[in-house]
Amino acid sequence: MSKVNLREKLSMFSEKWSPKVIAEMNDYQFKLVKIEGDFIWHDHSETDEVFIVLEGRMEIEFEDKVVELNEGEMYVVPKGVRHKPSAEFECKIMLVEPKGVINTGEADSNLRAPNDEWV
């Protein structure tokens, strides 16, 4: 493989809420996502999910709390825990999770994005 430059990869797409794979490690993937506005409530019953904020600010709402993440901050959403990501303004994040995870988890939504789309 070649090295991956995060800023360069982020410049290659503009869609919101549509994760783009940039690297694979064993059966895990690193994905970049641009988000803005509200996502839907969902969970991933089989896996934890890591959020790392590269630029901007986002929130992850849980049933019992809200976590605000700024640039350079990360959070591990435990498997099976319902959450709703949102961002008032565009925010650029990196996700780390097993290959095959669907962005909308168990939920039915038109925000469901194509899986395994590389940039």
Instruction: Give the residues lining the site for a second copy (CB under 8 A).
Output: 1, 3-7, 22-26, 28, 30, 47-50, 67-69, 72-76, 78-79, 96-98
Reported as type and span, the H/E element at residue 67 is strand 66-70
Q: How far is the CB of 119 from a second copy (least distance, A)?
A: 14
Q: Extract the tokens encoding 100.
A: 């095959």
Q: Which of 4, 38, 40, 19 is nearest to 101 (CA)?
A: 19
Closer residue to a second copy (CB): 27 or 108: 27
Q: How far is the CB of 27 from a second copy (least distance, A)?
A: 10
Q: Extract the tokens encoding 66.
A: 């809200």
Q: Extract the tokens encoding 46.
A: 């089989």
Q: How far is the CB of 110 from a second copy (least distance, A)?
A: 28
